[in-house]
């Protein structure tokens, strides 16, 4: 087919969308609905990913010494950790001064008045521990707690394992849902186009009678599907980003501890994508999601149309 003809048929497709505007609107709304559900799951997946990256940066274990230990006793605790636990990869000591500093910066940031007069004495010495295999962490905690001079052992490993576990499940569910929704959307678009084709069956018959090829008849319908898929997905993206931005980025319930640091992934986040290890390209996350959405919409619209018009042309035989 010549470029001139393709251009002409694209114009026909656009005209058809406008001419059959009620049908087009109905299809577009259906595309929006499917894509909004799709988007919600994508956002969930993005955030779970973000959360798991965040928790994986946390120390795997923190061993808190008793408050009143002297330097010798603290040394003994460190020695016991180093000598008896080959599972440990590294130990970093946090002195009383460093602990107070951290509290000032993390918990009481901007509220210096509340901790005026506090001295390092009230803080315990602690050891931040990285493990060779984090999955073994939960096994050694009870033994570490029994070392003389150890007050308690803090570890987010339970939560980390839970999130990592949930992440893989959410990923699987999301992929299944995305495929399912894509299938449903293709089916819906294909049905909507089938109605359009059916309402123009006389026209299609005339085209065949005067010698139009299948490709010539099909192309405007495919363009129609692409336009509806594109418009629907763009509107769905706008709707999702509006709803998402209106959502509080930091849940009140999760202000404490580990989750206190977590914020919802923002669409205007800059993300870096390595290009074959040579350079890193910077993209705005929202642009990537939007492009993906629109491409998916266009592909699904085209696929939906192609299926129904192909079936229709087949039904009409020669």
Partner 1 sequence: MIELIDVSKTYANGTEAVKKVNLLIGDGEFVFLVGTSGAGKSSIIKLMMKEESPSLGLIKVNGVNVNTIPHHDIPRFRRGIGVVFQDFRLLPDKTVFENVAYALEITERPAKQIRREVPKILSLVGLSRKYKSYPKELSGGEQQRVAIARALVNQPAILIADEPTGNLDPSTSFEIMDLLNDVNIMGTTVIVSTHEQNLVNKMKKRVIEIENGIIIRDEVRGQYSNEN
Nearer to partner 1, 4 or 68 (CB): 4
The reply to whether 199 sits near partner 1 by the rule CB under 8 A is no
User: Tokens 């029994």, residue?
Assistant: 146
Least gap, CB of 213 to partner 1 (angstroms): 4
Q: Closest Cα to residue 234, out of 32, 39, 37, 42?
A: 32
The reply to whether 311 sits near partner 1 by the rule CB under 8 A is no
The reply to whether 56 sits near partner 1 by the rule CB under 8 A is no
Burial of 206 (C-beta count, 10 Å sphere; 0-12/13-18/19+): exposed
What angle separates helix 21-57 from helix 285-315, to the nearest 10 degrees? 140
Least gap, CB of 294 to partner 1 (angstroms): 29
Q: Is 153 helix (H, G, I), strand (E, B) or coil?
A: strand
Nearer to partner 1, 97 or 214 (CB): 214
The reply to whether 139 sits near partner 1 by the rule CB under 8 A is no
Nearer to partner 1, 19 or 132 (CB): 19
Q: For residues 174 and 41, is the Cβ–Cβ distance under 8 A?
A: yes
Per CB under 8 A, which of residues 211..230 are in contact with partner 1? 211-214, 216
Q: How many Å apart are CA 126 and CA 118, to the nearest integer?
A: 18
Least gap, CB of 28 to partner 1 (angstroms): 21
Nearer to partner 1, 217 or 290 (CB): 217
Least gap, CB of 310 to partner 1 (angstroms): 13
Binding segment (CB under 8 A) for partner 1, from list 38-46, 189-197, 209-217, 221-229 = 209-217
Interface with partner 1 (CB under 8 A), residue total 21
Element (H, E) at 128: strand 126-131
The reply to whether 202 sits near partner 1 by the rule CB under 8 A is yes
The correct pick among 83, 105, 119, 209 for binding partner 1 (CB under 8 A) is: 209
The reply to whether 22 sits near partner 1 by the rule CB under 8 A is no
Alpha helix (H) ranges present in the chain?
3-19, 21-57, 71-84, 96-106, 137-145, 157-199, 201-209, 214-246, 285-315
Q: Closest Cα to residue 146, out of 96, 88, 84, 93?
A: 84
* Interface residue list for partner 1 (CB under 8 A): 1-2, 4-5, 8, 19, 202-203, 205-214, 216, 317-318
């Amino acid at each position: 087919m010549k470029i001139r003809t393709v251009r002409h048929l694209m114009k026909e497709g656009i005209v058809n969308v406008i001419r059959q505007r009620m049908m087009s609107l109905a299809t577009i709304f259906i595309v929006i609905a499917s894509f909004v559900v799709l988007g919600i799951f994508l956002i969930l997946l993005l955030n779970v990913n973000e959360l798991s990256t965040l928790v994986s940066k946390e120390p795997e274990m923190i061993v808190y010494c008793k408050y009143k230990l002297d330097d010798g006793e603290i040394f003994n605790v460190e020695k016991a950790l180093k000598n008896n636990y080959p599972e440990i990869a590294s130990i970093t000591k946090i002195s009383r001064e460093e602990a107070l500093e951290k509290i000032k910066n993390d918990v009481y940031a901007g509220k210096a008045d509340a901790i005026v007069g506090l001295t390092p004495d009230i803080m315990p010495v602690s050891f931040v521990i990285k493990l060779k295999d984090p999955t073994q962490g939960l096994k050694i905690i009870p033994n570490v707690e029994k070392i003389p001079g150890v007050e308690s052992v803090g570890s987010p490993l339970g939560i980390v394992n839970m999130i990592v576990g949930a992440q893989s499940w959410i990923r699987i569910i999301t992929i299944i849902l995305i495929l399912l929704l894509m299938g449903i959307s293709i089916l819906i678009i294909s049905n909507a186009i089938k109605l359009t084709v059916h309402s123009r069956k006389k026209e299609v018959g005339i085209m065949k009678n005067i010698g139009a090829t299948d490709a010539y008849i099909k192309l405007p319908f495919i363009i129609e599907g692409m336009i509806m898929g594109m418009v629907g997905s763009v509107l769905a993206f706008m709707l999702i980003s509006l709803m998402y931005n209106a959502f509080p980025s930091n849940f009140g319930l999760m202000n404490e501890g580990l989750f206190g640091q977590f914020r919802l992934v923002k669409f205007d986040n800059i993300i870096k994508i390595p290009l074959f290890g040579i350079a890193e390209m910077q993209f705005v996350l929202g642009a990537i999601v939007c492009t993906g959405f629109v491409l998916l919409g266009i592909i699904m619209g085209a696929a939906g149309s192609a299926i129904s018009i192909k079936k229709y042309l087949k039904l009409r035989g020669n």
